[in-house]
Structure 1
Amino acid sequence: MTKAHGNGTKVSPWYAVLLVLTGATATAATDATATADTTAGYAIPAGSLSSALLRYSEQSGRKVVFSTDLVRGLDSRGLQGQFDSQQALRRLLSGSGLGYRATSTGSVTLERLAVNSSEPQPAADAIALDKMTVSAEAEESDPSDPYSEDYAVRRATAATKTDTPLMETPVSIQVVPWAVINDQKTPRIKDALENVSGVRPQPSLGQGNAFIIRGFSNRSRIYRNGLGLINGFGGSPGEFDTANLESIEVLKGPAAVLFGRIEPGGLINVTTKRPLDDPYYALEQQFGSYDYYRTLWDAGGPVTQDRSLLYRFSGAYQSNNSFRDFVSLDRVIVNPSVTWRIGDRTELTLNVEGFNQDFRADFGLPAIGKRPASIPISRSLDDPNTPQGNLSHALVGTDFVHRFNDDWAVRNRFLATFSSNESTFVNPAPAFGNALNENTGIMDRNIFFQEGSTEAYTTNLDLTGKFRLWETRHEVLVGFDFTRGFSEYHTQGNWIDPNPALAIDIFNPRASYGIPRAMYKETLATAVNAPLHYSVAKTEWYGLYFQDHITLWDKLHILGGGRYDWAENGRGRGSSFNAAEKALPSTIRKDEEFSPRVGILYQPWTWLSVYGNWTNSLGANNGISAGGAPQPPEISEQFEAGIKTELFDRRLTATFAFYHLTKENVLTQDLSAPDQNARIAIGEARSRGLELDVSGRITDSLSLIGSYAYTDTRVTRDHSGLQGKRLSNVPEHAGSLWLRYDVKEIAALDGLSFGLGTYLAGQRHGDPHNSFQLPGYVRLDAFAAYRWNIGPTRLTTQVNIRNLLDKTYYESTDPDSNVAPRLGVYPGAPLTVLGSLRLEY
C-alpha cells in the first residue's frame, strides 16, 4: 500500500516521512534568489543527519520533509554559532550529497543531488518563494526518540504482534507514550494508566501492579515487550518503575488469541527503552513533598562507528516517605541493554532489569458503615517498629529478529524472571473477618509475615509475512509460545486469632504504637495455618496461534485468527517446601481450549474507521478451594464495536468503543475458609460499557490526552448471594483530561509549557457484597516547565502539582489479597508538589 503526501509523491510504508512541526518559512534554492531571514544561534551536536535535522527544525522554526531512507546512514558534523536558516541548512547538508528545494505545492523537501557535488545545491526546477506556509499530513513520530513530545501513537505491537497501523486494526488499543509519562512525572505505571479509559488501580499492601480493566482484575499479570510475567504467590514483580519505559500499551478485551492466559478485561504491555542509533545522554533530579528524592539517568548510542553495536543504560534511584504515617520507600532500578546488528537483516537485543525496593507495607484504612472511616487519611494502623519489607526482581530478556526480505521475518523473544518479596505487618485479625468493632472503633490485630519467590521462563517464536492473492493483501502471523513458572510462598505469625495486647483504637491510636521487638520475634516463631503454611505453585502453558489480516480495496480490513492452548496449573501445600512440592502433582489440573478472534474494519476515508470484533478467551485459574482442589478455567466472550478517527491532519487520534463482555468461573475470596488463599468461583459476571480515548495535538501548541468510560458490571449467575451485585472498585462513570500548552507565539516565552489535568471517578462499591461504597471524586493536577538550550545541551526545569485543590478521596480497596476489603481502603495522596531539573545532550 502507498500513500500520497505533500507534493503528491507516493511513499512506500517502509519509509517514514518526517514532518517537523515548527516554523513558518521555506528554504530557498540559492542565496541569490532566497529572501533574507533572521540570524539565530544554533547548537547542534555531531551525529546522525536525521537527528541534526530535527534539532535544526526546532532551533530555526522551519519545516522540513524527508524520507528516512534518504538520510539513513548519513552523518552530520553538527553546527555551532550564529547563522541564518539557509546557511545553517547548507552547512548541515554539506558533504551529504543532498540538496533542498521548495515546490509550487508549498512543501520543502530534501532530495539527492543530480550532480556530482558534495554541496547542497538546489534542484534545477526549484522555485524561490518570499514566504509560504508548509501544509502536509502530520506523520508518525518515532516513539523511541527521547526528544519526542508527541502524545499521539499510531502503531502498537500488542494488538496484532505486527506493525499494522491502529487505524487499520479492528480492536481497541490505547498507548501512553513517554512524552506523557515525562510531562506528568509519574514513577509508577499506576499513575500513568489514569489516562486510559476503563483502567482502575487495585493495589495490595500499597504495592503492586494489579489493575481492573473493563471491570475485571488482571491479577498483576503485566506483559513486558510482549511476554507475560508470571504472578506467583507473593513473588511476582510487584512494581514497574517508569524510568526504563518507552510506552505503556493497553489492549482492551480478551487477548488470549495471541498471548494465552490473560484476563478478559484487557492486557497491559510495557515497552522498554531500546538502544539508540544516535548518542543521547540525560540526567534528571526530582525532589518534592514527603522527603521525595528521585534521580534518573539515561544514556545510549552506537558503540561502533558503523552502528552495528548499540547500547542503552537507564535507571533510577528513589527515596521518599509518604503522607501515610510510618510508610517509606527506598528503590533502585538499573536497565542495561545492547543491540547487535549481525547483518543487514539480522539483529539481537539483550536487555536486563535489576530492581530492589525496601518498603513499609500499608493495608490502608477500615470502613465504618457505608463509607471509609472518618479518620485522617495519614493515619496508619500498623506500627512504627514494624520491620521493612523487600521486593526485588531480575529480568533477563532477548529479542532476535531475522528478515528474509522486506515482506517475511522470523522473531524470537525470551524472558527469564527471578523475583522475591517479603513483608511484615501488624494486620487486622481476623484479616478476613470482623476485626473492627464499628461501634467502639477498636480493631483487633496480630503480627503476620509472608514471603514468596518466583522463577519463570517465557518464550515465543513468530513468523510474519506479507503477500498478495488476487485482489487481496495478506499480513499473516503464525506463532508458538511457552511459559513455565514455579512459585513458593510461606507465612508465619497469626492473621486469624487476635492478640488482645495489640488492639488499637482507630480514633486514638497513639497509645498502641511502639510494639516491643520481642513480641514480633515471639509471634513470628509460630504459624497459624500449620501444617499448610508452605505452598508451591506450578504453571505450564503451551500455545499455537495464527492470524491473517486481509485487506481489500485499501478500505476493508478483516482480521481472523485462533489459538489452541494446553495449560497445567496446580498448587501444593505442606509443613515445608519439600512437603508442598510432594503434594503438588495431585493438584495439577490440565485444560485445553481453542480461542478464536474475528474482527472487521471499514475505512471509508483515511481519517475514519468503523470496526467490530468477537472473541473468546481462556484463562486458567490459579486459585484453589478450601479443600485444596484446583478451580475450573475461566472462559470469557466479548462483542465490541467502535469508531476510530484521526483529525487535525492526523495529529489527533480518537477511539470510541462499545463492548459487551462476560466471564465464567470468576474467583473471589472464600471468607468461610481458614486459608487466606482459598477461592470460590462465583459463576458468571458481565461487563458492558462505552469508552472514549483521545490523544495527540490540536494545534502546534496544544496537546492533550483524555478518556471517558461508562462501565456497567453485574454478577449475573451465582449461588452465594452475589447475583445482581456490582463488581467492586468499578465506577459507573470515570474520565480524565490532561492538557499541555507550549507557548510559541511570544518569542520571549519560547520554551515555556504549562498544563492542567483533571481525573474523576464516580461512586464505587468497595467489596463483592456491595456492603459499602467509596465516594466519587474529582482531582486536579497542574504543571509548568521551561526549556532552553545551553550550547549543545537542553535544560528543562519543571514543577508538577498533584491534587492541586487538596481534596480527600479514596482510590480503591484491597482485592482480598491480605485483608478483607472493609479493612483495606486506600486513600489518594493530598496536595503534593514535585520539582525537577533535567539535562539532555
Structure 2
Amino acid sequence: MQPASLHTPRLKPLTLAVHSALSLMLFATYAQAEEAQIESDTLVISATALKVETPLLETPRSVSSVGRTELEKRNVQQLDETFRYRAGVLAGLYGSDNNTDWFKVRGFDQSTYQDGLRIYRTGFYQWLPEPYGLERVEVFKGPASILYGEAPPGGVINAVSKRPTSLPQNEIEIQTGNRSHRQIGFDSSGPANETGSLRYRMVGLYKERDGDLDHTYNDRYYIAPSLEWDVSDATQLTFLASFQKDDGVPTNAFKLPYGTLDTSNGKVDPQTNYSEPGYDKDEHSQSSIGYELRHAFNSTWAFEQDFRYNRLDLDLRSTYIFYALDEQQGMRGHLQRDGKVESYALDNRLVGNWRSGRTEHTLLIGLDYQDQQVDGREADPFPFGEAMDLFNPEYGHYTPVSADQFIQRDIEKQQLGLYLQDQVRIDDRWVLLGSVRYDDAQTDNIDQTNGIKQVSDDTALTWSAGAMYLSDSGLNPYLSYTESFEPQLQTDSEGSLYEPLEGQQWEAGIKYAPAGWDGYVSAAYFDIEENNSIIPGPVARQDGKRTSKGLELEASGYLSNALQVTAAYTYTDARDKDDNRAALIPRHMASLWLDYDFQGTHLAGLKLGAGLRHVGESVDGDLRVPDYTLADLMASYDFGSQWTAQLNISNLTDEEYVASCDYWCYYGESRSVTASLKYRF
C-alpha cells in the first residue's frame, strides 16, 4: 500500500500516443452501416459475435438477438426484460429493480455494451440503457474477452441504439398503466438534406412509475439525437449522443428467508419496504457522446473506428434489512454514494476480406483502449437506526449519516488491448475461426480520506477458436473454445483488490435454418469454468472456482403466415468449488411465446400474443427456492396505417413468488398492466 499522494496514472503517455496516431486515420468509413439486420425478424446479420458482419447462423458461437419489433410487442420497459423468451439468460432474479438491470448468463455475470463499446457499471454506479432508444439487443453467451477485453464468463449483452433512416418516419406514443405508470415518447427520423447524404434521428421520452415496493418510484427524462453523414461513396460518419436523468426512491428488494421462505411465524408482504422513504433517494444522470467511422480503402481493406465518452453522476441513499434480531424484528444497514464516473472507450479495427482459390478470408486486426475514473464519497454505516418490525415496519427511527462517516474514494482503471482474428471459409462448407488477444489493465483504488492506495497491474493473453460445417440442408454443427479475463475494481474486507476473474468455455452446438422457412432452431452444450470466483453475501469473498455446464435449445419462426412461435429451454448445472449447487441459478428454465396476426380476415389489424415463462427450483445452501410459472399477454390493433392501440400484461395471474435467494431473498415482480396508443406519420 502507498499513500494517495504517490498516485500517477501510468498509461497516460501511451494513451496520448495512441490517440494521436489513430486520429490521423479519422477520414473515413464504410457506406454500409454496422450490425445491420436483414429483413427477416428471425434471421440476423450481426457484428456482436465477431465484430465483423456475419449471419448468426454461420457463426460458431451462441448469440441471441431481440429486435425492435419484439421489444415493442412485449413493451420492454427495462433492459433486463429483453431476454425473457431466450435460452441461457436468467433475468428478474432480484425482482423488479428500478436502478439496476440484473442478468445471469449461463450461470455467471455478464458485461454490458452499447453500440459495441463498454458501459461501465461499477458498484452502485449503474448505467441504464433506455429500451425506447434501442433498435435491438443481443447477447453473446460465454467468455468474450477475445474481442471485448475484460468480461465475466457469462458473456456480453450489446444494446444497439436507434439510427437515422433514409426514409422519413415519425411517431408519438403515450402509455398508462398500474403502479401509476405514465409515459410519452417521440421518435423522428429521415433525411436532413435534399440528396439524402445527411440523415438525422431524434428520440425522446418521459416516464414515471411506482416501484414494486411501497413508497418507491422512479421518474425518467431521456433524449437521444443522432446524425449520419455519407462523406463520400467510401466513407460514412455517424454521431450518437444521449442524455438521461432519473429521480426517485430506490426499490431495495432485500428480504430475509425468515418471513419469505420460512413463514412459520408469519409472512412478509412482497411490497414491504425496509428502507427509509423520506430519507433514501436515487438521483442519477448519465450523458454520452461519440461517433462511428467507416472507411473502405478498396474492395479488400476497410477501417472502422468507434469512440464514446460517458459521464454518470449519482447521489444515492439506500437502506436495507441486514439480519433478524428475533421472530419480530430486524436490523438494517445503509449505504450512500455521491460521485461521478467518467469513461472513454476507443476501438479501432482494420478489416480485410479476400478470396484465394477455394478459401475466403476475413481478417480482423484491432486495437482498443478503455479508461474509467470513479470519483466519489461513500459511507456504509451499520447498524443504521433502531430495530424495525419485519412484518409492520415504521419509518423515521434513525440518525442521518454525518460528514465524518464518509470516505473519499478515487478509482482509475485503464486497459489497452490488441487483438487478431481470422475467419476462413473453405469451399463454402467450412468456417474456421482463430483469435488471440493481449490485454494490459492497470487499476488504482485510492482511499483519499485515509491515504491508502491499492494498485493492480494485470496482463492477459486469451485465445479463441471455432469450427462450423455448412450443409446444404441448413443444418450447421459447430465446436468452439473461448476465454475471459476481468480485472476487479472492488476491494475485499481487508481493503485489498480482488484478483482478476478468469474463465474458459467449451461449446458444441447445431444451428438449423431450412431453406424456405423464415426461422431458426439452435441447440448448444456448454462447459464453463471460472477461477478466482467472488462469493456474494453480507461480506463478499474471493474463493476458488465455479463451474457451469448445460444445454440450451432455442427456436423462433413462422408456423404459418399468421402464427409465429418463439420457444426456449435451458438446463444449467452451476456449482461452487466444493461441488455444491451455486445459489440463484435454477437447473431448468423454459419459455414459449405465440403471436397471431389476423391480417387477411375480417379482424384485420388485430394481433394477439401470449407467453409462458417457467423458472425451476434454485437453492441457497440448504434453502430451496420453489419453481414458478408466469403468463404474459399482448393485444394490439392497427387503426389504418397510422394508429396502433396495445395492451400488455405481464404476470397475468399476479403470481406471488420468491425469485431467488443468496443470503437475502427476493420476491419476483408483481403483475404489470400497460396500455399504449401510438401515432405514426
TM-score with structure 2 setting the length: 0.90
Q: CA deviation at 1:206?
A: 4.7
Structure 2 equivalent of residue 794 of structure 1:
642
Q: Which has the larger radius of gyration?
A: 1
Say whether the 8 Å CA contact 1:152–1:697 is kept in structure 2. Answer: no
Q: Are 2:402 and 1:525 aligned? A: yes
Output the CA distance in 2 between the equivalents of 1:424 and 1:441: 25
What's the CA shift string for 1:59-114, capped at 9, x where partnerless?
A: xxxxxxxxxxxxx9xxxxxxxxxxxxxxxxxxxxxxxxxxxxxxxxxxxxxxxxxx
Output the CA distance in 1 between the equivalents of 2:260 and 2:537: 22
Say whether the 8 Å CA contact 1:199–1:213 is kept in structure 2. Answer: yes
Output the CA distance in 2 between the equivalents of 1:660 and 1:475: 28
Alignment CA distance shift 1:615-1:829 (3 Å): closer
Instruction: Give the partner amino acid of 1:422.
Output: D
Alignment CA distance shift 1:323-1:616 (3 Å): closer
Alignment CA distance shift 1:415-1:736 (3 Å): same
Structure 2 equivalent of residue 785 of structure 1:
636
Q: CA deviation at 1:621?
A: 2.3
Structure 2 equivalent of residue 503 of structure 1:
387
What's the CA shift string for 1:450-492, capped at 9, x where partnerless?
A: 2242111000110112111232111111110000111124223
Q: Are 2:436 and 1:562 aligned? A: yes
Instruction: Give the partner amino acid of 2:353.
Output: K
| 3-state SS of 2:167 partner | coil
Instruction: Give the partner amino acid of 2:516.
Output: D
Q: CA deviation at 1:142?
A: 6.8
Gaps of 5+ in 2: 1-30
Structure 2 equivalent of residue 761 of structure 1:
615
| 3-state SS of 2:122 partner | coil
Say whether the 8 Å CA contact 2:250–2:280 is kept in structure 1. Answer: no
Q: CA deviation at 1:387?
A: 4.0
Q: State how 1:378-393 maps to structure 2 within 5 Å.
A: 378-393=271-286
Q: Are 2:80 and 1:190 aligned? A: yes
Alignment CA distance shift 1:526-1:448 (3 Å): farther
Structure 2 equivalent of residue 56 of structure 1:
none
Structure 1 equivalent of residue 421 of structure 2:
547
Alignment CA distance shift 1:732-1:634 (3 Å): same
Output the CA distance in 2 between the equivalents of 1:483 and 1:822: 34
Alignment CA distance shift 1:288-1:372 (3 Å): farther
Alignment CA distance shift 1:244-1:372 (3 Å): farther
Q: Which of 528, 534, 545 is matched with 1:684 structurally?
A: 545
Identity %: 26
Structure 1 equivalent of residue 561 of structure 2:
700
Structure 1 equivalent of residue 146 of structure 2:
257
Structure 1 equivalent of residue 13 of structure 2:
none
Say whether the 8 Å CA contact 1:419–1:454 is kept in structure 2. Answer: yes
Q: CA deviation at 1:369?
A: 7.9
What's the CA shift string for 1:196-240, capped at 9, x where partnerless?
A: 21212355965212321111112xx31011111122242231x22
Say whether the 8 Å CA contact 1:487–1:537 is kept in structure 2. Answer: yes
Q: State how 1:303-452 maps to structure 2 within 5 Å.
A: 303-364=192-253, 365-368=255-258, 371=261, 374-428=267-321, 431=322, 435-437=323-325, 439-445=326-332, 447-452=334-339
| 3-state SS of 1:599 partner | strand
Q: CA deviation at 1:322?
A: 3.2
Output the CA distance in 2 between the equivalents of 1:270 and 1:176: 10
Q: State how 1:659-678 maps to structure 2 within 5 Å.
A: 659-669=526-536, 671=538
Q: Are 2:604 and 1:750 aligned? A: yes
Q: CA deviation at 1:191?
A: 0.9
Alignment CA distance shift 1:648-1:828 (3 Å): farther
Q: CA RMSD in A?
A: 2.2
Instruction: Give the partner amino acid of 1:550.
Output: V
Q: CA deviation at 1:632?
A: 2.0
| 3-state SS of 2:72 partner | helix
Output the CA distance in 2 between the equivalents of 1:448 and 1:554: 57
Structure 1 equivalent of residue 519 of structure 2:
652
Q: CA deviation at 1:628?
A: 2.4
Alignment CA distance shift 1:405-1:372 (3 Å): farther
- Runs of 4+ that moved beyond 6 A: none
Structure 2 equivalent of residue 822 of structure 1:
663
Say whether the 8 Å CA contact 1:691–1:707 is kept in structure 2. Answer: yes
* Count of residue correspondences: 642
Alignment CA distance shift 1:725-1:376 (3 Å): same
Q: State how 1:7-22 maps to structure 2 within 5 Å.
A: none
Q: CA deviation at 1:378?
A: 1.5
Structure 2 equivalent of residue 803 of structure 1:
651
Output the CA distance in 2 between the equivalents of 1:326 and 1:163: 47
What's the CA shift string for 1:10-35, capped at 9, x where partnerless?
A: xxxxxxxxxxxxxxxxxxxxxxxxxx
Higher helix fraction (1 or 2): 1
Alignment CA distance shift 1:826-1:421 (3 Å): farther
Output the CA distance in 2 between the equivalents of 1:393 and 1:324: 25
Q: State how 1:28-67 maps to structure 2 within 5 Å.
A: none
Q: CA deviation at 1:829?
A: 2.7
Answer with 380-389 or 393-402: which moved more: 380-389
What's the CA shift string for 1:130-177, capped at 9, x where partnerless?
A: xxxxxxxxxxx9749xxx7x5313212111111111121110110011
| 3-state SS of 2:608 partner | strand
TM-score with structure 1 setting the length: 0.73
Q: CA deviation at 1:588?
A: 1.7
| 3-state SS of 1:193 partner | coil
Q: CA deviation at 1:822?
A: 3.2
Larger relative contact order (Cα-Cα within 8 Å, sequence gap ≥ 6): 2
What's the CA shift string for 1:396-455, capped at 9, x where partnerless?
A: 121000012343210000011100222223333xx4xxx213x42201235542224211
Alignment CA distance shift 1:305-1:565 (3 Å): same
Instruction: Give the partner amino acid of 1:602.
Output: Y
Say whether the 8 Å CA contact 1:648–1:698 is kept in structure 2. Answer: no
Say whether the 8 Å CA contact 2:43–2:55 is kept in structure 1. Answer: no
Alignment CA distance shift 1:284-1:414 (3 Å): same
Output the CA distance in 2 between the equivalents of 1:703 and 1:412: 38
Instruction: Give the partner amino acid of 2:402.
Output: A
Say whether the 8 Å CA contact 2:36–2:46 is kept in structure 1. Answer: no
Output the CA distance in 1 between the equivalents of 2:300 and 2:603: 48
Q: CA deviation at 1:182?
A: 0.3
Say whether the 8 Å CA contact 1:209–1:240 is kept in structure 2. Answer: no
Output the CA distance in 2 between the equivalents of 1:303 and 1:802: 40
